[in-house]
A and B are shown apart, each in its own frame.
Chain A
Amino acid sequence: MAEKGKRGTQELRLDPRTALLLLLFVTIVVFSHGSPYVEFALIAALLCLFFCCGLFKSGLKFILVFVFLLALQYYIFPVAPKIFADFFSILTFYTRKVFPCIMIGTFIVKTEPMRYLILAMRKWHFPQKLVIPLSVTLRYFPAIREEIVYIRDAMKLRRVTGAAKVEAYIVPLMFSAASTAEELSAAAVTRGIENPAPKTSVIELHFRMRDYICIICGLLFVVAALWLR
């Protein structure tokens, strides 16, 4: 997750608990409604959220992609060769179906730093056994990306070709993962991660007016979707 550029939007951020609730609501709506009106309204509402939080670029990108999907379904597939239409229509249909989920997911990744999401899960008393592995996993993705750059460089200078390439990525990654895991846990235990005291947080979470508005809107959508089914 990109942590950069998040400070600028700090004032416009939702409480992470609201964001996670919205993710839940959007998922319920997406998998229960059949009405295109609800779909359009939901996407419009999400776009409002994007623009209110200053995510103009991604908002515009989503508009373009959605218009493109609609154009494909209504104008291109009917006139396209059958094999092409058959092949892509299922993909297009499902992309459109889960489109709001992708939007809210992007929204969370773009606006909520990891530590806020973890804190939200702690507040809701998600078990530590889930929270710690999740946070370590998320921390590990960028580390893998760093390593892959090195390995790719090294391969370019060697004669590694074809299927050997896959192995050539995996072997060094596995070994560095093993040593990283060992070193990381040594650093963790010497900083008291095993302390049974309830963990505190330097950041504090507050529901604000905008959080209530978002939650109410989300609930309305859930009700509407279930009603119109």
Chain B
Amino acid sequence: MVDIRNVSFGYSHAKDTLKNIDLHIDAGECVLLCGRSGCGKTTVTKLVNGLIPHFTENGHLEGRVLVAGMEVAKTELYELSRRIGSVFQNPKSQFFNLDSDAELAFGLENIGASPAYMRKRLNATVQELKIERLTHRGIFSMSGGERQALAFGSVYAMNPDIYVLDEPTANLDGDSVAVLRRQLGEIKHQGKTILIAEHRLYFLTNIIDRAVYIENGEIVRIYSREEFLSLSDAQRIRMGLRTLRADALRATGLPAQNDGHVLEVSDLCCEIRGNCVFDHVNFSAGSGEIVGITGNNGVGKSTLMRCICGLAKEKSGSILFDGRRLTPKQRNRACFCVMQDVTHQLFSDSVWNECELSAGEEGGPEIEAVLRAFDLFEYRDAHPMALSGGQKQRLAIACGVLSGKKILVFDEPTSGLDYEHMMAVAGIIRELAQKDHIVLVVTHDMEFLNCVCDRTVALAFNGKEA
């Protein structure tokens, strides 16, 4: 079904991203592409769905790719799209319409399908994928997980033979991952061919037939499912891969006894437009502690975080710092939040100025020390937006540290990270805790939670229906 023959590819002539890739995938097979960030697995998916060479400019491609009997380089993208469905990483940027019904029909309308056939396909899509809850909705009122499920449905409606998925779970919580797993099971059952590039592996163990391990743009080894699942933890970690098991939560320590600062959340209740998001939330965290906040999308994790940072007002209850109740304005000054998309919180024209914005003009020596600690000093004159994703995140954290705030909140700091980057973030967070910060981590990443958090606070649905 897919035949990649001795392909080398570079986004520019200077350097090859992929070297001598040979991969043959049979019809009905599910193949996982895995490896460290930047190893080239996304690039392999682009070879198959035709974004290379049709969409990528100035690329340099050698070798041939045949998919469903078509030579990718010589076939128009719209021809390829009839047989190959693609789901991407970011749920925010995969839809074109404002309402979900139009979105589901989008691909079919493009190929000029008849209205009767479209209605049949759309009904089948909704039933087979069990996405009734997504119909007749405004897409901007949907969560990331719902948007991703809709993107999958929209591709499914076109009924392709091959599905190409590029890190589809990077921004999803546990429940949404479970939905995707079920949807993948459905297409696998129908005999579709699946090619999926992923960091998170635990949800794929029952679906994949083979796993392709890529390192520095080369296929190092192709594992059968049995071989792949029997990798020891030590081997897996050496390969830089995330866990293969759905982890249970282990971190259940008691509040640490300490004499530093204490953040106390007492009987907190928040509302959005009159709807109760959560009620009676109680927990406390002291200096040096790392507390994880868990719960599926929609339980109000982000509202809780916004409330603690003073970005949302509490309906009742209180947030105390060292026994003193803080108003939202005071909380703005006491807390710093590292957002999931740090692009939203970098404002200056250079890394150094970004830090000065937090530390003040006289903070020079301190800025230098912090930038060195975060491996950013050599980039001090670079524009923050020119940094890589991980560097941007470290810069945002550096700004939080330099602002001298004692409460640091991390919102999904590991979305889309491989094992080593995840461990690097964990290391930074632990160091911050050792320097007597109070660290709160909002995450759905169980593996990360278990390796960094001392305790967790689980939010459950409350008031509002699920």
Chain A residues within 8 Å of B, Cβ to Cβ: 1-4, 7, 113-115, 135-136, 138-139, 142-143, 146-147, 150-151, 153-160, 164, 167-168, 171-172, 175-176, 179-180, 183-202, 204
Contacts and interface: CB of A to CB of B under 8 A. Distances in A.
A143 B122 CA distance: 26
B282 to A, nearest CB: 24
Nearest to B337: A157
Contacts, number: 183
B78 A202 contact: no
24 contacts: A115-B97, A139-B98, A143-B140, A147-B344, A150-B341, A151-B344, A151-B345, A153-B344, A156-B310, A158-B347, A180-B93, A183-B93, A183-B94, A187-B88, A187-B94, A187-B96, A189-B77, A190-B51, A190-B77, A192-B81, A192-B107, A200-B108, A202-B105, A202-B119
Interface of B: 49-51, 54-55, 76-78, 80-82, 84-86, 88, 90, 92-99, 101-102, 105-115, 118-119, 122, 136-141, 151, 154-155, 158, 306, 309-311, 332, 335-337, 339, 341, 343-347, 357-358, 385, 399, 403
A142 B93 CA distance: 12
Contacts of B118: 200, 202
A132 B445 CA distance: 38
Contact of B81 (A164, A184, A191): A191
Nearest to B99: A3
Given A157-B335, A158-B347, A199-B110, A113 B98 contact: yes
A156 B110 contact: no
Contacts of A171: 346-347, 385
A194 B99 contact: no
Contacts of B108: 200, 202
B138 A2 contact: yes
Contacts of A189: 51, 54-55, 77-78, 81
B92, B136, B332, B335, most chain A CB atoms within 10 A: B92
Given A113-B98, A154-B347, 13 more contacts: A4-B141, A113-B102, A114-B98, A135-B96, A156-B332, A157-B336, A186-B55, A187-B86, A187-B151, A189-B55, A195-B111, A198-B112, A201-B115
B462 to A, nearest CB: 23
Contact of A204 (B115, B332, B336): B115
B337 A153 contact: yes
B92 A180 contact: yes
A138 to B, nearest CB: 7
B5 to A, nearest CB: 22
Nearest to B336: A157
B105 A191 contact: no
Contacts of A198: 112
Given A194-B76, A198-B112, A199-B110, A186 B51 contact: yes
Nearest to B335: A157
Nearest to B342: A154
A114, A150, A172, most chain B CB atoms within 10 A: A172
B109 A202 contact: yes
A191 B339 contact: no
B398 to A, nearest CB: 12
A80 B439 CA distance: 60
A7, A154, A160, A198, most chain B CB atoms within 10 A: A154
A11 to B, nearest CB: 15
